[in-house]
Amino acid sequence: MTSTTVTRATFFAPTLGKRLATIALLVYVVYAAATLGLSLDRVEKGIGYGARFLAGFFPPNFTETDILPGLLESLQIAFLSSLFGTALAIPIAVLAARNLMPAWVTWIARLVIIFCRSFHPVIIAIIAVKAVGFGALAGIIALTFASVGFVGKLLSEAIEEISLKQIEAVRATGASFMGVIAFGVIPQVMNRFIGFVAYETDSNLRNSTMVGVVGAGGIGGTLFSAFQRFDYSFVAGIIICIIGLVMIGEVLQIYVKRVFR
Amino acid sequence: MTATAELQRWIRFTPAQRIARFAVFFAMAAAIAWALKTIQIIPEFLYDAPEQVVDMGKRMWPMDWSHFWPAVWPALVETMHIAAMATILGLIMGIPVGFLAARNATPFPWINAIARFILVATRSISTLIWALFFVAMFGPGALAGALAIAFHSIGFIGKMFSEGVEEANKGSIEALQAAGATRMQQIIMGYWPMVLPTFWSVALFRWDINVRESAVLGLVGAGGIGMVLNSAIDLIQWDRVSLVLFTIFIVVILIEAMVTQIRKRVI
C-alpha cells in the first residue's frame, strides 16, 4: 500500500500573483529604505539617543504653571473651531448634495470641501499665522477649515443617502425650500450629524494641541519651546496631560454618540 | 377620560433620554460660552488681517514654476516614499496591537487594557510631536518623518483592526477551536481571512491620510515637501509657497480619486 499525497488548492496557498506582489513590495521596501537613509548603524545610534531621551523624561514635570493655560487655550480653540466649522459646513453640505441641488452648484461646493480637506491643519495654520498673527485666532481659523472639510464631506454624503419620499411629502404640502430642509432633510440626518460633530470636536481637540508648534496657540507652543530648550521632563509632563485630555475627549465622544443613537 | 388622553399622548423619548440630550446640549452651550468669553485674541492683529491676506495673495501669484523640477519634485517623491514606508511600518506595528486589543482574539482583559492604552497614546501624540522625537533620535531627514507617521498611525490602524476583529464571525473560530487549533492558528486561519477586507480598506485609507501628514513633517526638519514649504516661507518667497501648496493640492486630489476607484473595484 503506497501512501499518496493529495495536494489541494487552499485559500492560504500563495498564488503566482500574490508571490509577485509580495516580491514587488519587498523590492520597494528595500529601495525606499535605502532612499530614506535607513541603516543598521543609524538605528543602533538612534536607539542609544532614544534611551537617553526616555531617561530624560523621568520624572515628568507637571509643576510649571504653563501647562494649564496652554491646555485651556487648546480647549478653547477646539470648541470654537468646531462651532464655526460646523456652522459653515451645514450650508456647504446642503449645497454639495447632488439630490437637492443642480449640478453646477454641487461642483462649486464640492471644490470648497476638497480644498479644505486637502491641506493639513498645520499648513493652513502657517498661512493663518502670517495673516492674523500669532495666537489662538490663527489656530481657530486653521481648524475651522479642517472642520468644514470633514463635516462638509460626511454631511453631504449623509444628505445624499436620505429618503426622497419624505422630501416629496414635505414639498407636496407647499413647503418652501427652507421648509424642506428643516422638516424633510434635517430630521433624517440629525443623529449622524451629531456623531460627525462629536468626532470632529474630538479630532479638533487633538489637532489643537499641535497647531501651537507653528505659533497658532494652545499647548503645542509650550511643548515645542520645552523641546527646543531640551527640558524633557517638562515635555513628558505636557505629553501626559495631552494624552489625558484626548482620552477624556474620546470617552465624551462615545457618550454623546450613545445619547443620540 | 383624562387618563386615556394622558396615555395617548405620544412622547418620543423617555425622560432619561431627554435629560441626557438636554445635558449634552447644555454642556456644548456652556463650553462655547466659556471659550468665547475667555479666549485671548489680539485685536490689533485682526484689523489689518484683510490687507495682509490680499498682500499675501498678490505675492503668491504668479507661481515660480522654475522651482518645480530642481526642488519641489524631488521633495514630492521623498514625501511619497515617507507616506508609503510609514503606512507599511504602521501596519506592521499596528496590526499586532489591534489583535491584542480585540476582546475575542485576546481574552485577557489586562492585555486588552494595555493594548488599548497604546492605541490611544500613539494616536493622541500628533505626527509633529513624534517627528520632534525622531529628529532628536535619528537626526533630521526622511527617516525621522517615516517613523513619526508610522508611530502616529499605530493608533488608527490598531483601532480599526480591533473593531474589525471583534465583529468577526464566531462560528468559524469555534470550528477551528473544535479542531484543536492553537491561538496563533486561530488568528492566522480564522480571524485573518475575515479581516482581510478591513486590512485593505484601512491600508488605503491610512495611506491617503499619511500623504497629507507627510506634507507637514518638513516643518520640524523631518523631510518631505514640507521642507521646501518651510524654507520658502522662511525666505518669504510666496510665489514658491503657492507652488508647493498647489502641488500638494493636486497630489492629494489625485490620490483621493485613486483610492476611491480602487475601493469601488476591489472592496
Which candidate in B137, B192, B251 is best for mutational testing of the A interface (most A CBs within 10 A)? B137
The nearest CA of chain A is from the CA of B256 a distance in Å of 9
A259–B52 C-beta distance less than 8 A = no
A224–B121 C-beta distance less than 8 A = no
Single out the residue of B171, B155, B161, B173 nearest to residue B199, CA to CA: B161
> Between A243 and B47, whose confidence is greater?
A243
Q: Does domain B65-266 have CATH number 1.10.3720.10?
A: yes
Prediction pTM value = 0.84
Q: In sequence order, what are the residues at sequence separation of 6 or more whose Cβ sits closer than 8 angstroms to the Cβ of residue A55?
A: none
Instruction: Give the alpha-carbon dihedral of B25, A151, B247, A37, to 10 degrees.
Output: 70
Query: Which among A79, A227, A260 is the nearest to B132, CB-wise?
Result: A227
Query: Residues B3, A51: contact at Cβ < 8 Å?
Result: no
B123–A37 C-beta distance less than 8 A = no
A136–B219 C-beta distance less than 8 A = no
Single out the residue of B2, B6, B9, B62 nearest to residue B238, CA to CA: B62
Can you tell me the distance from the alpha carbon of A11 to that of B193, in angstroms, rounded to the nearest whole number?
9
Cα within 13 Å of Cα(A205), Cβ side: 26
Can you tell me the distance from the alpha carbon of A222 to that of A220, in angstroms, rounded to the nearest whole number?
5
- Residue B32 confidence (pLDDT) above 50: yes
Residues of chain A with C-beta less than 8 angstroms from the C-beta of B146: 36
The nearest CA of chain A is from the CA of B199 a distance in Å of 15
Return the number of CB contacts < 8 Å for A and B.
Answer: 162
Q: In sequence order, what are the residues at sequence separation of 6 or more whose Cβ sits closer than 8 angstroms to the Cβ of residue B149?
A: B82, B83, B86, B87, B90, B127, B130, B210, B213, B214, B217
- Residue B45 confidence (pLDDT) above 90: no
pLDDT computed for residue B7 by the predictor: 65
As a whole number, mean pLDDT of residues B188-192 equals: 86
B253–A118 C-beta distance less than 8 A = yes
Grid cell locating B92: 506592521
- Residue B5 confidence (pLDDT) above 60: no
Taking 50 as the pLDDT cut, the residues of chain A under it are 1
Residues of chain A with C-beta less than 8 angstroms from the C-beta of B38: 72, 76
Q: Nearest-5° angle of CA A176, CA A181, CA A185?
A: 140
B223 in helix, strand or coil? Answer: coil
Instruction: Give the alpha-carbon dihedral of B139, B142, B143, B145, to 10 degrees.
Output: 90
The nearest CA of chain A is from the CA of B1 a distance in Å of 33
Distance of CA A203 to the CA centre of its chain: 5
As a whole number, mean pLDDT of residues B185-195 equals: 86
pLDDT computed for residue A141 by the predictor: 92
Can you tell me the distance from the alpha carbon of A221 to that of B207, in angstroms, rounded to the nearest whole number?
28
Residues of chain B with C-beta less than 8 angstroms from the C-beta of A35: 78, 81, 142
The nearest CA of chain A is from the CA of B71 a distance in Å of 16
Can you tell me the distance from the alpha carbon of B158 to that of B98, in angstroms, rounded to the nearest whole number?
4
pLDDT computed for residue B153 by the predictor: 93
Query: Where along chain A do its domains lie?
Result: 16-57, 67-259
A66-110 per-position pLDDT tens digit: 788 888 999 999 999 999 999 999 999 999 988 888 889 999 999
The nearest CA of chain A is from the CA of B4 a distance in Å of 29
pLDDT computed for residue A1 by the predictor: 47
B129–A259 C-beta distance less than 8 A = no
Prediction ipTM score: 0.81
Query: Residues A123, A145: contact at Cβ < 8 Å?
Result: no
A137–B125 C-beta distance less than 8 A = no
Amino acid at site A9:
A
Residues of chain B with C-beta less than 8 angstroms from the C-beta of A127: 56
pLDDT computed for residue B6 by the predictor: 60
Average pLDDT, chain B: 86
φ/ψ (deg, to 5) at B191: -75, -45
Could you say which residues from 65 to 104 on chain A have a Cβ atom under 8 Å away from some Cβ of chain B? 72-73, 75-77, 79-80, 83
A83–B126 C-beta distance less than 8 A = no
B17–A137 C-beta distance less than 8 A = no
B193–A206 C-beta distance less than 8 A = no
Query: Where along chain B do its domains lie?
Result: 13-41, 65-266
Question: What's the helix, strand, coil split of chain B in %, to 5?
Answer: 85, 0, 15
Query: Residues B226, B247: contact at Cβ < 8 Å?
Result: no
pLDDT tier, B38 (very low <50, low <70, confident <90, very high otherwise): confident
Helix (H) or strand (E) holding A160: helix A136-160
A50 in helix, strand or coil? Answer: helix
Find the closest chain A residue to B55 by CA distance.
A131
Grid cell locating B146: 517615516
B45 in helix, strand or coil? Answer: helix
Can you tell me the distance from the alpha carbon of B146 to that of A37, in angstroms, rounded to the nearest whole number?
11
Query: Which among A50, A114, A250 is the nearest to B137, CB-wise?
Result: A50
A67-259: CATH topology is MetI-like fold (1.10.3720)
Average pLDDT, chain A: 86
Query: Which among B24, B126, B132 is the nearest to A206, CB-wise?
Result: B126
Q: In sequence order, what are the residues at sequence separation of 6 or more whose Cβ sits closer than 8 angstroms to the Cβ of residue B44?
A: none
pLDDT tier, B52 (very low <50, low <70, confident <90, very high otherwise): confident
pLDDT computed for residue B3 by the predictor: 55
